[in-house]
Structure 1
Amino acid sequence: MKMDDDLLFYPGGNLDDGLRSTTQAMVELLQNWDPDNLLKTPVEDVIERLLDNGSVRCPTLLVDQAWMPEPTEVNQDFVNFGRHYTRRVTRLVLVVPFDGEKIVFTLRANRWSSNPPRVLRLADHELHLVIDGPPDNPVQVKEAFDEQIEKIEQHLSWSREQIEQHNQQVQAELPAMVAKRRDQLLATRNLQAEIGYPIRRRADADTFSVPIHRRTVRPVQQRPANPRASFKPEPAMNDEDYNAALRVLRNQRNALERTPSLAAKLKEEEIRDLLLVGLNAQFEGDVGGELFNGEGKTDILVRVDDRNIFIGECKVWAGPKTMDEALGQLFRYLVWRDTKAAILLFIRRKDVTAVIEKAIAKIEEHPNHKRSRPRHGDHEQFEFTMHAQDDPERDIHLALIPFVLRSTTSSSA
C-alpha cells in the first residue's frame, strides 16, 4: 500500500499485521540459517541476531533537538461567500528528529483515533511539522506546534504499548526456539553418523557436552556406528555442571574468608590445592579418578581428549597487570568452542571494591570481550562472554570470583 506522506498512523495498515510479519520473518531466518553455520555460531550470538530482526524499535521523538529552517511562503486556497480565492501566506516548519523505525508511523495500533495527526513530511529520521499563516504571537505559534507534538506522542504511546508486548514475547520465546532448532540439526547429524557410511564434514562443525554429574563423571563421547565415519563432535562442559563447579568454588571462598587467620598463612598454590580437594569431593571422573587436576602453580583443569574444557586461573592481585597475565594464559589454553573458565582472584588488600572494579575493567577492555552478564551480588561472582583468540565465533564463558583474603600487613594499591 502506498504511504501517504502527510497522514500518520493509518495508511500502511495495522500494527498487529506488521508485528506478525516481523515475527514470521525472524522464524524464517532461523529455519533458513545454514545448518553448519548455526551450529558453529555461539547460541547467544544467534539469539542476539534473531532478537535484532524480530524486535521492533518504537520511534522516540527527540523534541529537545527540534529545529526550524528559514520561513517560506506558499499559496493558500480559501473560500469566502462561495467564491474561491488564493492568497500568499507564511509557512513555518518545525523539524523534529526521531529514533526508531519509520514504518511505525504508517501503521495503526489497536487503539486509534478517527482524526490521526498529519505532518508536512515523514522522512527517514525526521518529522516535518507545519503551520501556514501563523499568528503574530510567538507563544501561540509554539503552542500550536506543541499541540501537534502532543497528538503524535499520544498515538506513539498506543503503538509503544503494543510493540513492547511483542518484544517481550519474542525475547521470552527465542531461547527455546533456537535450542529446538539446534537440537533438530544435531539429532540429524547423529542419525547420519549412526547409519555407518563415511561422512565428509569439517572438524569444527559441532559441540557436545561432557556429561559431568555429581559424584561420578564419565566423559562419554558420541561415536559413529561405523568406525570409518569421521563425525566426532567436540567435548564441552555443559552449563549446569559449570555452574555447579562455580558454586563449589564460591563456597570454598566463603569458608576461607571466614577463617582469615588461616587464609593469611596460605600461599597461592596451597589455596589452589584446597580448592581441588573441594571440587573433587563433589565430582569424580572415569573409574572414580579425580576430575579436576592441578597443573603448574596455579591452574585447575578439566581435560578431555587432551583438550582443556575448563580452566581455573588462581591469581594474587598485584595490580592491573595481574589480569593481563591471567587472560593471556586463558587464551593460550582455551582454544575450543564452548569452553568454560574462571579467574580466582586472591585480594590481600584493603580497597577490595576498587580492586574488583579494576579487574572487571581489564576484562571488559580486552579485545576478546563480547558481553558482560548481570552481576551476582556485590563481591559474589562476575560473568563474561569472551571469544577465542582469532575466532569471534568460539565463545569462552568466563567467571571472575574474588577471594577477599586480607593479611595482617594488607595495604591499599
Structure 2
Amino acid sequence: MTPLWLFSNGRLRDKLEMLGRSASSELLGWDADELLALPEADVIDHLIDVATIVCPALDRNSAYMLDPHEVDHQFYDFGQPFTRRVTRFDLVVPFDGNREVFTLQASTFSTSQPEAEVRDGQLRIYAFPNGQDAAAIKANFDGQLDRIEQQLTWSRSDIEAHQRQIETDVPRLVRDRRAKLLADRDLHANIGFPIKPRDDASTFRIPFQRRTVTPRKPTLSAAARFTPEPALGQADYENALAVLQNMRNALERSPSTTHHLGEEQIRDLLLVSLNAQFEGKAAGEVFNGSGKTDILIRVEDRNIFIGECKIWKGPKTVTDALDQLLSYLVWRDTKAALLLFIRDSDVSTITAKAVAQVELHSNYKRRGSTAAEDRYDFVFHANGDTTREIHLALLPFLIAGKSRPATQM
C-alpha cells in the first residue's frame, strides 16, 4: 500500500456536511409506508449513524514492530530529489474508528504531518535508522504518534460539534417528515371522492369512560398501505401506571394485609383498583385477568396492554416474566408493565439486579424516558419483528417484610 501524507487530502468539514446531506436525502427518499411503520427512534438512530463519522482512537499500548526491511526511498538534497536503498523500521498501531479521518484536514491543523499507511484497523508509520540508536528511533516514533494524536484531537472536536448538531436536527426532521406524510394522507382522505377500503384498514384507540380521554382520529386514508393499529394512548398508559403505583404504596403500608397473599390475589386487588378508575366502552371492566398473573386489555386476538405480576425469586424471575410477556401476539406500540413483588426489605439492591437482567434480554432495545427507584422504563421489540415495539415499565413492589418510609415512594 502506498504511504500518504496524513490529514491533507480534503477538508473534514466538507465530509461532515456531505454526510448530513446524505441523511436528509435518505429521509426524503424513504418509502412513506415503511417510514410511518418503523419505530421513530429506530429511524432517528439510523439517520444519525448515516450523518456522522467515528473519529479514530489509537491503541498505542498494542503497537508492535514489523521485521526491518530495505526499500527504495526518495530523499531531497538542496531541493533535488534522489533515491537511495535504505533500511526501514515499520511500527503498526491499531485503531478504532473511521480510517478516512486520517486523510482529512480539520478546521485546526498543522502543516507538519508524517507519512503513513492507513489500513482497516491499523496505522503504519516508519523510521529510517540512518545511524541512530534505539532510543532515538523510539523517540522518532513517539514524536510522530504525538503529532498524529494532536491532529486527531482537532478532528474529534469538529466531529463532536457536528454530532451535537445532527442529534438536534435529525429528530426534528424525522418528526416533521412523518407529520407531513400523515397530513398529506389526511388531506387526501378528505377530498370527498370515494376511496376503495381495505379489509385491514380498521383502526381505533381504546376509549375509557371514567377518565376524560380524547380518541385518536385516524389520519391515514383507507387506501394507504400503512394504517395505525389499536393502541393504548400514552396518557391512559400513564394513568394506569399511576393507579398501580398508588396501589403499590397502599400495599407497602399494609404488610399485615399482604404478607399471606400470592401473585394471583395481589393481581386481583390491582384489578379492582384499575377498574374503579377505568371503564371500557362496551363492558363494565376494561382490565381483565387471564391465567394466574396477567392484567390485560385485549383487542380482537391481541393484547395492547399486558401487566405481568411476579414475586422475586432471583434474576431468572425477570427473564421468565419477559419471555412470558413477549410470547403474546402484539400490535405495534404495545404497552406493558412488569410488577415485581419483593419480599426482601433490600428493595434497592434487588431492583438494580432486576434492571440489569432486563437489559440482558435479547429483545431489549433501549432505555425509556423514566428511571427512578419506583419505576424504570424500557423499549423491547416483539419476537421476530424489530419494528414492533413494546414499551415496558418495571414497577418494584415491597410486599410484607419491613416497609420503607412513605416518602421514598
TM-score w.r.t. structure 2 length?
0.83
Unpaired runs of at least 5, structure 1: 409-413
1:338 paired with 2:333, answer: yes
Label 1:240 to 1:169 Cα distance change in 2 as closer, same or farther (>3 A).
farther
Instruction: Tell me how far apart the structure 2 counterparts of residues 134 and 209 of structure 1 sit (CA, whole Å).
Output: 79
CA contact under 8 A between 1:193 and 1:229: conserved in structure 2?
A: no
SS state at 2:109 partner: coil
Label 1:153 to 1:366 Cα distance change in 2 as closer, same or farther (>3 A).
closer
SS state at 2:237 partner: helix
1:238 paired with 2:236, answer: no
Residue 160 of structure 1, CA deviation? 0.5
Label 1:116 to 1:282 Cα distance change in 2 as closer, same or farther (>3 A).
farther
Match of 2:136 in 1: 140
Match of 2:9 in 1: 11
- The AA in structure 1 aligned to 2:379 is T
1:312 paired with 2:307, answer: yes
Residue 363 of structure 1, CA deviation? 3.6
Match of 1:217 in 2: 213
Match of 1:26 in 2: 23
**Higher mean C-alpha displacement, 396-405 vs 178-187:** 178-187
Instruction: Tell me how far apart the structure 2 counterparts of residues 164 and 224 of structure 1 sit (CA, whole Å).
Output: 39
Match of 2:406 in 1: none
Residue 208 of structure 1, CA deviation? 6.9
1:192 paired with 2:188, answer: yes
Instruction: Tell me how far apart the structure 2 counterparts of residues 214 and 181 of structure 1 sit (CA, whole Å).
Output: 36
CA contact under 8 A between 1:119 and 1:127: conserved in structure 2?
A: no
Give 1 or 2: higher strand fraction. 2
Give CA-to-partner distance per residue, 1:183-213, whole Å, 9 cap, x none: 2222233333444433466948x98765779
CA contact under 8 A between 1:301 and 1:312: conserved in structure 2?
A: yes
Label 1:9 to 1:38 Cα distance change in 2 as closer, same or farther (>3 A).
same
Label 1:196 to 1:236 Cα distance change in 2 as closer, same or farther (>3 A).
farther
Match of 2:383 in 1: 389
CA contact under 8 A between 1:237 and 1:340: conserved in structure 2?
A: yes
CA contact under 8 A between 1:193 and 1:199: conserved in structure 2?
A: no
CA contact under 8 A between 2:186 and 2:221: conserved in structure 1?
A: no
Residue 111 of structure 1, CA deviation? 1.3
Match of 1:62 in 2: 59
CA contact under 8 A between 1:207 and 1:338: conserved in structure 2?
A: no
Label 1:7 to 1:277 Cα distance change in 2 as closer, same or farther (>3 A).
same
Instruction: Tell me how far apart the structure 2 counterparts of residues 184 and 297 of structure 1 sit (CA, whole Å).
Output: 45
CA contact under 8 A between 2:92 and 2:124: conserved in structure 1?
A: yes
SS state at 1:339 partner: strand
**Higher mean C-alpha displacement, 80-89 vs 243-252:** 80-89
Instruction: Tell me how far apart the structure 2 counterparts of residues 230 and 7 of structure 1 sit (CA, whole Å).
Output: 53
- The AA in structure 2 aligned to 1:119 is E
- The AA in structure 2 aligned to 1:383 is D
CA contact under 8 A between 2:208 and 2:281: conserved in structure 1?
A: no
Match of 1:411 in 2: none
SS state at 1:120 partner: strand
Match of 2:48 in 1: 51
CA contact under 8 A between 1:212 and 1:219: conserved in structure 2?
A: no
Give CA-to-partner distance per residue, 1:227-248, whole Å, 9 cap, x none: x999853121233443343333
Instruction: Tell me how far apart the structure 2 counterparts of residues 185 and 302 of structure 1 sit (CA, whole Å).
Output: 30
Label 1:25 to 1:63 Cα distance change in 2 as closer, same or farther (>3 A).
same
CA contact under 8 A between 1:219 and 1:285: conserved in structure 2?
A: no
CA contact under 8 A between 1:47 and 1:174: conserved in structure 2?
A: yes
CA contact under 8 A between 1:77 and 1:85: conserved in structure 2?
A: yes
Corresponding pairs, count: 400
TM-score w.r.t. structure 1 length?
0.82
Instruction: Tell me how far apart the structure 2 counterparts of residues 293 and 23 of structure 1 sit (CA, whole Å).
Output: 49
SS state at 2:64 partner: coil
CA contact under 8 A between 2:74 and 2:82: conserved in structure 1?
A: yes
Residue 147 of structure 1, CA deviation? 0.7
Instruction: Tell me how far apart the structure 2 counterparts of residues 154 and 248 of structure 1 sit (CA, whole Å).
Output: 56
Residue 273 of structure 1, CA deviation? 3.8
CA contact under 8 A between 2:368 and 2:376: conserved in structure 1?
A: yes
Give CA-to-partner distance per residue, 1:276-304, whole Å, 9 cap, x none: 45445555554895544444543323344
After superposition, the CA RMSD in angstroms is 3.6
